[in-house]
Structures are given as C-alpha cells and as structure tokens.
C-alpha cells in the first residue's frame, strides 16, 4: 500500500503537480464560498472560458501564456460589469454573449495556429505539465487571494449578505464586486492547469457547495471546502496516474463524489439521513 | 451610478453636527428609475425635526420604498432636488442613517450568525482595514440585549422565526447608533407581541432624540403609535397629524377607489391586491370603531 502511494513521487513532476493543484484548489475553495453565496457561478464559468483566446493570443505573440490568460480574464471581468451596467441587458445575458463570442474566437485562432493537443490541454487541463514557473505563479496568486479575503473579510461579508446595508453605510458593493471578480480571474487562471477551462467551475463551486451542506458560518465553509478540494486533488492525481485517465476529470469526479456523499449522508440534513431517522 | 465608496465608509467621527439643522430636509425632490420614463417621486418636500416619528403610508407602488432607499443612499442621485441629513448631503452622513430593509430583501439562508449581522451595524464606524474592538463588541451586546436576542446570538439567522429576524435587523441599526432610522415595512407578517416590542424600542429611540420614519401599508397601528403621518402617492398627498391624514378620501385612494382625476396612474407599480383592499379597511375599523 505504502509503496503504491509513494511510487508516483519517483517522478519529480508528480509532487510539483500535486502541490500546484492543491494550491489552486485552496484558492478556488475560498473564493468559491462567495461565488456560491452571491450567485456568481455563471460569471466564474465565463471568466474561465474567455481565458482561451488570451492563451492563444499570448502564444501567437510569443509571450507567457499565464499573462495572456490573466489579461483575458481581467478584461472579461471588467467587460461584463460594464456591459450589464450600460445597457438594458440583464447580467446573465451579457455574460452569455461575451463569453461564447470570446470562446469561439479562441477556438478559431487556435485552429489556425495551434495543434489539437494544445486545445485539449487548455480545455481539459494538463496538471502533469506544471513547470516550476507555473508553480511559483500559483503560489503568489493564492497568497494574494488569501490576503485579500483576510483583509477585506468584513466588507466581503456585508456586501454579500446585504448590499443595501453596505450602501447605507457608504460602502460600495460594486467596488467589492470588481475586486472579487479580479481575484476570481487570477485564481481561475491558476486552476486551468489542474482541470482545464471547461471544468474550472467545478473547482470553484463544488467544494463550497458541499461545505455549505455541513457548516453554517463562512470561515467554517471555507475550511471544509479547502479540505474537500485537497482530498479531491490527491485522489484525482492518483487515479489519473494509475488508471491513465484525464487528471482534471478525475479531480472533478472526486469532488462530485464527495458532494453526493454529503448530500445523502450529512448529519441531520442529508436526504438519506432524514429518510432513516424518520423510520 | 458612481457612488462614493472609499471616501466616507467608516469616517463616522469626522462629520460635525450642524447646529439647529433639521434631522431630515428634503427639498423639491423628483426621481425616476434609470431607463424608466415614469416619475417614481414627484416634487417631494419634507422636513423632520430631531426626535420626530413619522409613518409613511400610501398604496402599493406609491414610492414609499423608493423614498426610503433614496434617503438611505441605496438609489443613485435624484433627478432634481436635495436631501440633507442633519444639514449635510447624504454622502457625508452615511453613519447617521440606519436602514432596516424589508424582510424579503434578505437571504435568510446565508451562512451568518445573529451576532455577526448585528456587528455589521458597527462597520459604519470601524471602516477599512480594522477589526471590531471592545467598544464595538459592547455596542453589539447592548443591542442584542435590548432586542431580547442575547440567547439567540450564535444561531444561524435562518433558524429564527420571522419576528426574531426582524428584531435582528433592528438590533443591527441599534448597534450602528444611527440618528435617523428608516424602516421599510417592518411590521409585515409579524405577530402582535413582536410588533409591540418594536414599537417599544422605537419609542425609546425617539425619547433619545433619534428620528424615525416607518413605511407601512398597515394603517391599523398608526393612531396609537405615531403622531405624524405622511400620505405618499408619488407626491405627498397630505402631511400632518394622523387623524387628519387618514381621511376617507386618502383611504379610498390608498385602497383602490380613485377620487382625483389628475393623479398619476399606477402603471409600473403593483396594483393593490384584493387581499389588501379587503383586509385593510377592516383593520382600521377595528382600531377606530
């Protein structure tokens, strides 16, 4: 058993990948709490998808993919805010228009320049291809996320719970929202290495959703979400290593499995728990 | 819709009190929602002295919530007119204004505990980059005590009854130590003991020279607890002692029958429901046989 667990670490990329995946997962789990409780899942998904043209353009210009992805994510975050504010469109409509258009642009550009292999890596992740540069990028991003959440905890809390009260005491919920969107953009860019563009939303939403079934306070939900995220990253990487399947899909399915377990069995609130205790 | 964010949040102590200024002074205020051609509020003039309690009444869609949100700073700057709070423009005075939203405006499933919600009232004083201190925690303790919530302090807010939830929102405003307190339909669906408790606290606040506006469509409680009423239907229809404001004409107007021919239509407002029009007059008869 121990041999089975240790064997992958003989490859020096395995530990690096696992650590990078865990860090990205931690960032996603923490921000995911706000994504879930503010109903921002669709925005998160859109930001993840519009990263594709950013990466492709960066590739074409010969600059770092991380920077291209980040620029695209930031532009999306700000663009969605502007578009829904300046027009009669509802926000989810604005998001739908912007994100599908940019995603299509990314596919188009990639079909001219890249290979199918590149597309697969961006769409579905390539956690075993994490370089030391990527690793330090992820570390810095997660440090920024944690610092922001700690420093602005009470502003994030009041604007999420009751934006009206925030306005009444002179705190702009829009300001906090833009800050949060920027952080989501940063974190999503780090997480596409692990799970890819298509599945990032699971990393953002599922740990927080699972933890919300169990805990009743934001900090507890964050901590539980981090635990679920780390467990799933470890499980997903082992499965991927031994069964030779997509690592991103494995991580997400591990997260989903935990969610289903909690949904059914959560003490006092789980579906099965209620059924059993009633009989 | 640029709203001041960085400048005034948490700067409670820096705004001086203007001597002899009214608690609230609204001059020639008109407002329509962005993208709407309908006038939500039309030439509103209103002055309240410190310590005054006013009931804001009117039919659904009359603009009661809009007016309260404008005063509290939840809506963008009005099209014309001014709102002065203790002599200052509203952006200088955020900490002085406490806003208690309608219960439906809050997500009660949100993972936050009673004590944390009440602490949010203190954020007006704490500001950026600081954590709540001893004085803040004591203010929260007092507010919880006053609203009889001490033993519920560590409950998640979704576990409370409707009346208890309303008390939490009022406790938050108490902790904020606001001078002008705005309550939007605070009595909706509350049991009588909770209503009485809220009135008791409002009376204590008024005795402490706090100024209070309560919007309500429940006219039954007015004669007992308020001396002044303002009847709003996009314009101020009448303003004065409760028994003068609540005449047959205004009541008919509030609950379906239109007596004036030039009043604006209720196109974008919700029409008064049958339940309201049937229930409300009865409530009044019960209070004023």
Q: What is the pLDDT of residues A28-43, one digit of tens each?
A: 999 999 999 999 999 8
Q: How far is A171 from chain B (nearest CA, A)?
A: 5
Evaluate whether residue B100 is within a structural domain: yes
Does B151 map to a domain?
Answer: yes
Averaged pLDDT, B86-115: 90
- Specify if B168 maps to a domain: yes
pLDDT attached to residue B36:
79
Q: Is B94 on the interface with A (CB under 8 A)?
A: yes
Q: Which domain holds residue B36?
A: 12-287
Q: What distance in Å separates the CA atoms of residue A19 and residue A127, rounded to the nearest whole number? A: 10
- The pTM assigned to this predicted structure is 0.89
Tell me: pLDDT of A105 over 80: yes
Give the strand order in the sheet containing B180-184. Answer: B97-100, B180-184, B211-215, B53-57, B228-233, B235-241
- Alpha helix (H) ranges present in chain B? 64-72, 114-120, 123-126, 134-146, 162-176, 192-207, 222-225, 242-245, 248-254, 274-287
Instruction: Say how many CA atoms lie within 13 Å of B254 toward its Cβ.
Output: 29
What is the pLDDT at residue B255?
66
CA-CA distance, B178 to B159, in Å (whole number)? 27
What pLDDT does A190 receive?
87
**Predicted pLDDT of residue A76:** 86
pLDDT tier, B17 (very low <50, low <70, confident <90, very high otherwise)? low
Give the residue with greater pLDDT, A236 vs B273. A236
Q: Is B73 on the interface with A (CB under 8 A)?
A: yes
State the CATH class of domain A2-274: mainly alpha
Asked if residue B217 belongs to a domain, the reply is yes
CATH number at residue B72: 3.40.50.300
Give percent of chain B with pLDDT exceeding 70: 82
B100 part of contact set with chain A, CB < 8 Å: no
pLDDT at A121 over 90: no
**Candidate from A164, A170, A218 with C-beta closest to B112:** A218
CB pairs under 8 A between A and B: 94
Average model confidence (pLDDT) across chain A: 89
Minimal C-alpha gap between B30 and chain A (Å): 20
CA distance B250 to B233: 10
CA distance readout (Å), B279 to B196, B248, B263, B283, B286 = 20, 16, 24, 7, 11
Q: Quick one: pLDDT at residue A1?
A: 78
Q: Which among A164, A167, A215 has the least Cβ separation from residue B3? A: A167
pLDDT tens for B181-236 read 999 999 888 888 888 899 899 999 999 999 999 998 877 777 778 889 999 989 99
DSSP lists the bridge partners of residue B82 as B27
Please report, for residues A211, A215, A219, B141, the alpha-carbon distance to residue A222 in angstroms, rounded to integers and kept in the order given.
7, 9, 5, 27
Residues of A in contact with B112 (CB under 8 A): 157, 161, 217-218
Does some domain include residue B7? no
Range B266-274 average pLDDT: 43
**Domain residue ranges in chain A:** 2-274
pLDDT band at A73 (very low <50, low <70, confident <90, very high): confident
ipTM of the complex in this document: 0.90
The pLDDT value recorded for residue B15 is 64
Does residue B5 sit within a domain?
A: no
Report the percentage of chain A scoring pLDDT > 70: 97
Q: Is the pLDDT of residue A89 over 80?
A: no
Dihedral of CA atoms B260, B264, B270, B274 in degrees, nearest 10, equals: 10
Nearest chain A CA: its distance from B155 CA (Å): 9
- pLDDT tens-digit series, residues A222-274: 999 999 999 999 999 999 889 988 888 999 999 999 999 999 988 877 788 77
User: Does pLDDT of B254 surpass 70?
Assistant: no
- B107 pLDDT exceeds 90? yes
Do A165 and B94 lie within an 8 Å CB cutoff?
no
**Count of structural domains, chain B:** 1
Residue B257 pLDDT level (bands cut at 50, 70, 90): low
pLDDT of residue B12: 56
């Amino acid at each position: 058993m121990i041999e089975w667990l240790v064997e992958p670490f003989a490859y020096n990329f395995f530990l690096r990948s696992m650590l990078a995946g865990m860090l990205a997962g931690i960032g996603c789990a923490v921000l995911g709490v706000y994504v879930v409780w503010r109903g921002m899942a669709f925005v998160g998904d859109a930001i993840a998808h519009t990263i594709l043209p950013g990466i492709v353009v960066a590739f074409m210009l010969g600059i770092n993919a991380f920077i291209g992805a980040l620029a695209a994510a930031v532009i999306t975050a700000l663009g969605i805010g502007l578009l829904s504010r300046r027009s009669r469109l509802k926000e989810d409509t604005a998001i739908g228009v912007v994100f599908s258009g940019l995603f299509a642009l990314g596919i188009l550009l990639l079909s001219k320049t890249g290979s199918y292999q590149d597309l697969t890596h961006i769409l579905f992740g390539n956690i075993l291809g994490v370089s030391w540069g990527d690793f330090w990028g992820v570390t810095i991003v997660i440090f920024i996320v944690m610092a922001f959440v700690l420093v602005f905890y009470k502003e994030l809390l009041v604007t999420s719970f009751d934006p009206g009260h925030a306005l009444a005491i002179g705190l702009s919920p829009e300001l906090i929202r833009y800050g949060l969107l920027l952080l989501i953009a940063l974190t999503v860019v780090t997480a596409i290495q692990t799970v890819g563009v298509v599945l990032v939303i699971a990393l953002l939403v599922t740990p927080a959703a699972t933890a919300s079934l169990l805990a009743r306070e934001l900090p507890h939900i964050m901590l539980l979400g981090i635990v679920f995220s780390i467990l799933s990253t470890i499980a997903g990487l082992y499965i991927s290593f031994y069964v030779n399947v997509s690592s991103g899909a494995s991580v997400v399915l591990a997260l989903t499995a935990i969610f289903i377990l909690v949904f059914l069995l959560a003490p006092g609130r789980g579906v099965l728990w209620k059924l059993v205790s009633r009989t | 819709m640029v709203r001041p964010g960085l400048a005034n949040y948490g700067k409670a102590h820096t705004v001086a009190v203007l001597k002899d200024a009214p608690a609230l002074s609204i001059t020639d205020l008109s407002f329509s929602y962005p993208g709407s051609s309908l006038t939500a509020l039309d030439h509103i003039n209103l002055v309240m002295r410190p310590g005054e309690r006013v009931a804001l009444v009117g039919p659904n869609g009359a603009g009661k919530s809009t007016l309260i949100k404008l005063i509290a700073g939840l809506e963008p700057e009005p099209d014309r007119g001014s709102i002065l709070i203790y002599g200052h423009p509203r952006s200088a005075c955020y900490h002085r204004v406490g806003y208690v939203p309608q219960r439906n405006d809050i997500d009660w499933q949100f993972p936050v505990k009673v004590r944390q919600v009440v602490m949010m009232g203190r954020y007006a004083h704490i500001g950026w980059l600081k954590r709540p201190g001893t004085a803040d925690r004591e203010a929260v303790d007092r507010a919880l005590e006053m609203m009889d919530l001490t033993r519920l302090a560590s409950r998640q807010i979704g576990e409370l009854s409707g009346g208890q939830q309303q008390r939490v929102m009022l406790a938050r405003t108490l902790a904020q130590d606001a001078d002008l307190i705005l309550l939007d339909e605070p009595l909706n669906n509350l049991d009588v003991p909770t209503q009485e408790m809220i009135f008791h606290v409002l009376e204590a606040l008024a005795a402490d020279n706090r100024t209070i506006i309560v919007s309500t469509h429940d006219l039954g409680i007015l004669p007992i607890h308020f001396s002044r009423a303002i009847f709003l239907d996009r314009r101020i229809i009448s303003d004065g002692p409760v028994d003068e404001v609540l005449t047959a004409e205004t009541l008919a107007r509030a609950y379906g029958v239109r007596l004036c021919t030039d009043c604006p239509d209720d196109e974008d407002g919700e029409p008064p429901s049958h339940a309201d029009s049937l229930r409300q007059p009865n409530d009044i008869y019960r209070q004023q046989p």
